[in-house]
């Protein structure tokens, strides 16, 4: 058994962080999120209308519920 002191291991490199203002996903900008919200509202409203909603008001209500779900996802994702 050797009594020589062992050299200390070098400290691990610091973790690298993404550049400020950028997320790991490419879909994080406010204009992109607004476009997604508008598309969700329009597409779900059209699907509800095509599926036989009683009138346009009901279809828009269903679209607004989907809009709210996606909006809450964007808010809680932060």
Average predicted confidence (pLDDT) for the chain:
85
Q: Is residue 7 part of a domain?
A: no
Whether residue 59 is predicted with pLDDT greater than 70 in this model: the reply is yes
How distant is the alpha carbon of residue 55 from its chain centre?
32
Q: Is residue 68 part of a domain?
A: yes
- 13 pLDDT tier (thresholds 50, 70, 90): confident
> In total, how many domains does the chain have?
1
Q: Is residue 25 part of a domain?
A: no
Query: What does the alpha-carbon distance between residue 12 and residue 15 come to, in Å, rounded to a whole number?
Result: 9
Q: Is residue 69 part of a domain?
A: yes
The pTM assigned to this predicted structure is 0.64
Q: Is residue 3 part of a domain?
A: no
Q: For residue 34, give its domain range.
A: 30-77
Q: Is residue 17 part of a domain?
A: no
């Amino acid at each position: 058994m050797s009594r020589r002191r062992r050299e200390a291991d070098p400290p691990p490199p610091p973790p690298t962080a993404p550049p400020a203002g950028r997320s790991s996903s490419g879909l994080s900008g406010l204009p992109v999120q607004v476009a997604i919200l508008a598309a969700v509202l329009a597409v779900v409203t059209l699907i509800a209308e095509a599926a036989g909603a009683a009138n346009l008001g009901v279809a828009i209500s269903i679209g607004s519920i989907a809009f709210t779900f996606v909006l809450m996802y964007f808010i809680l994702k932060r």
